[in-house]
Structure 1
């Protein structure tokens, strides 16, 4: 797979999505993709192994939630191979991102990405969400291919600010998962996501509490 083809796919996809990035940011995104592709051979970071699909299913898919990231400090749970956290951190250098994963191989990869890409706005934490005890809770928590929605709110609800929201990235709309949400949680909004080069459906669900704690 040539770097030139990845670059053309990225430029075309960004244009279709109406996202304007400078050349430095585009180079960083492609450098991250190259790292992901290299480390994936040994660390099994992502199921996407066909280089022709990597720009769409990894970079563009992650960037599809850009309009919904409104907080100054986002937590990405089950960060895995750094999706969507690393691409978002590249695009939003003035925002802070905390990437949390319980797999030590994946957090080693994420730490290497932070070092090689010079991402001073990214913190990597190795640990389970249930055991995490941050100094302050997060206004937004992103999740991509991490777990079912009921697990997400059960495992990570204590990390979310009272008025915060989860940004849950899904493929087809997960009716069964929505129906299984425990009491006290609701789908605040749902959005179909545009991901150039992707044939399948992509959705973003924002989930918050149904009532503020007294």
Structure 2
């Protein structure tokens, strides 16, 4: 079992590798979130990742890898599970209104406890199917949640006209691109280099057609 010091070293190495500068105390709060997730996971099986060091790399650092592409004042994280990438993004870049959406009751209970215990201002959790969520958001994140076609069909109504949709994928989603529905366009596909995480990672940046670049 890794000590907190070892986890902190791993997290700081990952943040440095990504070239990020985070606010003071962010590392401590990210580790507090990881510790809370590990504690709840022992009972509620919120994530298949069990090893704390793997949680740091595959959950925290992987989530932070998209931080340079996040924009706007409001963000919805769809299919957030135990808060990924929404909670790491909230800790690393505070001041944004963030809605964490998941249909699983025990995951949403965990999210509400994390928001309370970590004092995450401006962050709220909703137990809902994506297609039933209301409102519009400047930025939408979705991590391994569904195909591009499905996630836009279910949640496309949530994106503002000039908003940016950030879909986190493993391998390059070549076969999914043709399924992007009318009214949306793929603006960019970035290959992400996430330290200590095996396999490919890609970020698909989507916007509404006929509007600004958004990133």
TM-score, normalised via structure 2 length: 0.93
Look up the match of 1:206. 205
Alpha-carbon shift at residue 50 of structure 1 (Å): 2.3
Q: Match of 1:21, SS?
A: coil
Work out the CA distance in 2 between the residues paired with 1:94 and 1:183: 33
Instruction: Say yes or no: does 1:11 pair with 2:31.
Output: no
Look up the match of 1:45. 46
Look up the match of 2:158. 159
Deviation string for 1:2-36 (max 9, x for gaps)?
11110110111111111223451111000000111
Look up the match of 2:84. 83
Look up the match of 1:26. 27
Q: Does the 8 Å CA contact 2:99/2:126 hold for their aligned counterparts?
A: yes
Q: Match of 1:48, SS?
A: coil
Q: Which runs of 5+ in 2 are unaligned?
A: none
Deviation string for 1:42-70 (max 9, x for gaps)?
22222212223111101000000111111
Q: Match of 1:5, SS?
A: helix
Work out the CA distance in 2 between the residues paired with 1:36 and 1:64: 20
Work out the CA distance in 2 between the residues paired with 1:159 and 1:88: 19
Work out the CA distance in 2 between the residues paired with 1:155 and 1:6: 37
Look up the match of 2:96. 95
Work out the CA distance in 2 between the residues paired with 1:41 and 1:145: 23
Runs of 4+ that moved beyond 4 A: none
Instruction: Say yes or no: does 1:177 pair with 2:164.
Output: no
Work out the CA distance in 2 between the residues paired with 1:156 and 1:19: 29
Work out the CA distance in 2 between the residues paired with 1:32 and 1:191: 27
Q: Match of 1:70, SS?
A: coil
- Superposed CA RMSD: 1.4
Work out the CA distance in 1 between the residues paired with 2:16 and 2:207: 32
Work out the CA distance in 1 between the residues paired with 2:132 and 2:15: 37
Work out the CA distance in 2 between the residues paired with 1:166 and 1:147: 13
Look up the match of 2:147. 148
Aligned pair count?
210
